[in-house]
Every structure is written in C-alpha cells, then in structure tokens.
Amino acid sequence: MKIKEYIIFDLDGTLSDPGEGIVGSLAHALKQFGIEASPEILKKFIGPPLVDSFQTYFGFDEEKTAEAIRLYRAHFHGDGLFKNEIYPGIPELLEDLTKAGKTLAVATTKPEVYAWQILEYFDIDKFFKRELVTGSYLDGRRTNKAELIAAVLEQLDDEPQKMVMIGDRKFDIIGAKSNGIDSIGVTYGYGEREELEAYEPTAIVDSVAELRTLLLGS
C-alpha cells in the first residue's frame, strides 16, 4: 500500500478501548428488560450500530430497541463515557503523523458529540480538525459506516487514492470499499482476524507499531 496523505480512523477499538464503559452501560440497559448477558456477547456491540446489535442479539423490535438505546445512553453519558483507555502508542503515532504533514480524521458510529468529548478527554483532539470528526446523530441517523466515511471525504475533497480508512471491524472495511478508498484492518481492537480477512482490506496489522510502519514507512 502506498503512503497516504489523508488518514481516517475509527474510534472504538482503533484509537481507544471503550470496553468497560460500553459493556457496563449495555448491561445496565438490558437489566431493565430482565436480561443478563455475558460480557462476550456485549463486546460484540462495540463497533456496529446499536440498533443492529440489539435486534440481532436480543430480537428487539423497533420500540424496544429505541428504549434500550435511550437507557444505554443515559447510563453511558453519566457513568461510562470516560471508562475508556487510549491504546498505547496511539498519541505518539498521531503526533508523528501530524508532524509528517498528514491530515487526520475520525469516522465513528458513536454519537459525534461523545466522540469529540473523548478526544478532548485524552488530549488528542489537537490532532484533528473539528469538522473532520464525524459520528452519528443522537436521534439515530447517520449510523452507516459508508455514510460516515462519505461525510469525511466530502470535507477532504481530494482524490480517493490519497486516503485510507483504519478500523477493527468489517463495517470499516465495507464502508471504505463503498467509497472507493483503501482500508487497514487492525486486530488489536474488537474485530477478529477472520472477520477482517473475509472482507479483504488493503492490509491487516496486529499492533500500533505495525500500523505506524505502514502509515509512515518507518
């Protein structure tokens, strides 16, 4: 893969590990429906749109899904938002990419307002222009990864071959392909190598160090 000028990151499972906050908030929401789910199942919620996951794993209808998301977000906003950790090496990578003249962006299914708060909390917002941090809306719109990536590309307004999407789930790879750009799958997040390989990203890396080599050539 050629060195890219524009680098778009997923957030959860790529820049940060949000597991504790998300799993705790999901468990709280499901408890209101009398459901206890294993952490292994709840970790599968990290990455895809919540609507899809509540319907896929628990068979919720539209009304039940909406209420579950409301309960989840209320708990997440108050207790789970900052139960999150930046992956080791990410701040240094973002700094070096910026020094190398790269333009950095974020495309995440997490609500945009939460995404920006997390970047600020970990002091990595300085590496991103606000208009290049794109997430879903709180009313449930814009949760499709292809749509989110398209919104970033519209802001970048340059040739697709200069861009790459980086993420840990198949949705990142599918979204990148839908927009005609390269993709890098990372296995240190919440997606499994088999899942990534099935959707044939441009490259797969197993660590932040490998990602650095691919993006900077050193």
Per CATH, which fold does 19-80 belong to? DNA polymerase; domain 1 (1.10.150)
124 and 91 Cβ atoms separated by less than 8 Å:
yes
- Rounded Cα–Cα distance for residues 152 and 189 (Å): 22
Q: In what order do the strands lie in the sheet with 133-136?
A: 133-136, 103-111, 6-9, 163-167, 182-186, 203-205
Specify whether 125 is catalytic. Answer: no
Q: Global pTM?
A: 0.92
pLDDT digits (tens, 9 = 90+) for 12-52: 999 999 999 999 999 999 999 999 999 999 999 998 889 99
Active-site choice (10, 17, 168, 182): 10
pLDDT-based confidence at residue 218 (cuts at 50, 70, 90): low
Answer yes or no: are the C-beta atoms of 15 and 58 closer than 8 Å: no
pLDDT tens digits, one per residue of 57-85? 999 999 999 999 999 999 998 888 889 99
What is the maximum alpha-carbon separation in the chain? 52
Share of the chain above pLDDT 90, in %: 90
CATH 3.90.550.10 fits 6-17+85-216, yes or no: no
Q: Residue ranges per domain, the chain?
A: 6-17+85-216, 19-80
